[in-house]
């Protein structure tokens, strides 16, 4: 009986050690070049916005003492808005056994996590980590993944309120999303409760490609007093120029989730400060490279938000933006 008990205890200890080994293997070794896998879901390698975000991430790492070619190597992969490609390149990254993976967007984080439950993952731009299955407790993620959401649910109502302030006559709003992106339901659920109080009827509008965008927005614009809420997703970001151009052509006021979309010609944007969450994510990567576990790093909500109004686009649409709304803006493009 005693021998059997000792044997069971030994097997339990051995199994626990084996399960813990992959994370323990990445203990801090100051003289070794560390390897970071970087996967972005919706932007291409040549997209200026992709290059800008990577620049913020790399600079934040440099500020923390991590320099490519000296003590880190970053392997970059781009899914270009294609879920099948995301799975392929995610496997490539995991097969290379990096010390940590940085994943941009729910499709990227989902693709990476299906290949590893041990290599640390830091995500950005995942609106609902619990719904995505990445954690059950934001304060203690308990697994190999942590990071920085790009959304809080109060934003849904603020999007509707802001577009209504820009265009008071609006009573119909198309919520434009990518049905291939598992996060779309989180955005729609956050927006729907606010619609009655704002006095608008919502039309969920899934688009996967350029043809979908053309057909959906042309059909929606047939009736008057319409507007758009464009939620972040691989298809809406990669086809942002087409959406912005069609919104102007069909005279549809539109609100977007990020600053650079208003700068590119969108009427208004309200959402997280993306460079801020990339800098914060780099700090988590630094802490993991120095030996901390993702389970000990809480998933942190966004801290900084930006309201940007493009008055040139307002003029094209024949809209007059109230002084009150302009006073609340972080930036006004004239």
Q: In angstroms, rounded to a whole number, what is the distance separating the alpha carbons of residues 91 and 164?
A: 44
Sheet holding 172-177, edge to edge: 201-206, 172-177, 226-230, 254-256, 268-272, 305-310, 331-333
Q: What is the pLDDT of residue 4?
A: 38
Q: Is residue 85 situated within a structural domain?
A: yes
Clarify whether residues 313 and 282 are in a common domain.
Answer: no
> Can you give the pLDDT at residue 29?
60
Residue 246 domain-assigned (yes or no): yes
Residue 222's domain spans which residues?
154-273+305-333
Residues 89 and 174 in one domain: no
Number of domains in the chain: 2
Q: Are residues 190 and 177 in the same domain?
A: yes
Cα torsion 286, 287, 289, 295: sign: negative
- 319 and 191 within one domain: yes
Q: What's the pLDDT score for residue 15?
A: 36
Q: Measuring CA to CA, which residue among 83, 80, 81, 98 is closest to residue 38?
A: 98
CATH classification of the domain holding 244: 3.40.50.2300
Per-residue confidence (pLDDT) for residue 30, from 0 to 100: 61
Q: Are residues 134 and 198 in the same domain?
A: no
Same structural domain, 221 and 263: yes
Q: Do 76 and 169 belong to one domain?
A: no
Residue 45 within a domain: yes
Residue 96 structure tokens: 């290379």
Angle at the Cα of 185 from the Cα atoms of 119 and 181, rounded to 5 degrees: 50
Looking at the fold, whether 132 and 177 belong to one and the same domain comes out as no
Q: What is the pTM of this model?
A: 0.86
Q: What distance in Å separates the CA atoms of residue 287 and residue 158, rounded to the nearest whole number?
A: 34
Tokens encoding 226: 């319409």
Task: Indicate left, alpha or beta for 316 from its phi (over 0: left) and psi (-120 to 50: alpha).
Answer: alpha
Q: Give the pLDDT of the chain (334 residues) as one tens digit per residue.
A: 333 333 333 333 333 333 333 443 445 566 689 999 999 987 778 888 889 999 999 999 999 999 999 999 999 999 877 778 889 999 999 999 999 999 999 989 999 999 999 999 999 999 999 989 999 999 999 899 999 999 888 899 999 999 999 999 999 999 999 998 888 888 899 999 999 999 999 999 999 999 999 999 999 999 999 999 999 988 898 899 999 999 999 999 999 999 999 999 999 999 999 999 999 999 999 999 999 999 999 999 999 999 999 999 999 999 999 999 999 999 999 9
Q: Is residue 68 part of a domain?
A: yes
In a domain, 262, yes or no: yes
What pLDDT score was predicted for residue 20?
38
Q: Would you call 268 helix, strand, or coil by DSSP?
A: strand
For residue 212, being part of any structural domain is answered with yes
Q: Do both 213 and 78 map to the same domain?
A: no
Whether residue 315 is contained in a domain is answered as yes
Question: Are residues 186 and 322 both part of a single domain?
Answer: yes
Judging by beta carbons within 10 Å of its beta carbon (0-12, 13-18, 19+), is residue 109 exposed, middle or buried?
A: buried
Is residue 13 in some structural domain? no
| DSSP secondary structure, 34-67, as one string | EEEEEEESS--TT-HHHHHHHHHHHHHHHHTT--
Q: Which two tokens stand for residue 101?
A: 């993976």
């Amino acid at each position: 009986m005693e021998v059997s008990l000792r044997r069971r205890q030994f097997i339990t200890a051995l199994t626990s050690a084996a399960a813990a080994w992959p994370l323990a293997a990445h203990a801090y070794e100051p003289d070794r070049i560390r390897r970071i896998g970087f996967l972005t879901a919706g932007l291409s390698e040549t997209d200026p916005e992709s290059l800008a975000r990577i620049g913020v991430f790399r600079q934040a790492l440099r500020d923390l003492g991590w320099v490519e070619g000296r003590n880190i190597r970053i392997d970059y992969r781009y899914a270009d808005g294609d879920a099948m490609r995301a799975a392929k390149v995610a496997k490539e990254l995991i097969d290379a056994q990096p010390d940590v993976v940085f994943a941009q967007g729910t499709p990227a984080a989902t693709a990476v996590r299906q290949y590893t439950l041990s290599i640390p993952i830091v995500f950005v731009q995942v609106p609902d980590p619990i719904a995505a299955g990445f954690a059950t407790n934001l304060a203690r993620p308990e697994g190999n993944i942590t990071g920085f959401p790009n959304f809080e649910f109060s934003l849904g109502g603020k999007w509707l309120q802001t577009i209504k302030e820009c265009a008071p006559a609006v009573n119909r709003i198309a919520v434009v999303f990518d049905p291939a992106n598992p996060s779309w339901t989180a955005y729609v659920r956050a927006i729907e409760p606010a619609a009655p109080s704002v006095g608008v009827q919502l039309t969920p509008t899934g688009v996967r490609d350029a043809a979908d965008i053309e057909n959906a927005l042309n059909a929606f614009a047939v009736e008057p007093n319409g507007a758009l809420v464009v939620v972040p997703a691989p298809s809406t970001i990669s086809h942002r120029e087409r959406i912005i151009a069609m919104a102007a052509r069909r005279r549809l006021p539109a609100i977007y989730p990020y600053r650079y979309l208003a700068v590119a010609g969108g009427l208004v944007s309200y959402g997280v400060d993306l460079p801020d969450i990339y800098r914060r994510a780099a700090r988590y990567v630094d802490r993991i490279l120095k030996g901390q576990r993702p389970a000990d790093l809480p998933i942190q909500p966004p801290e900084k938000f930006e309201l940007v109004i493009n008055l040139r686009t307002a003029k094209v649409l024949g809209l007059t933006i109230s002084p009150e709304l302009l006073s609340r803006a972080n930036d006004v493009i004239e």
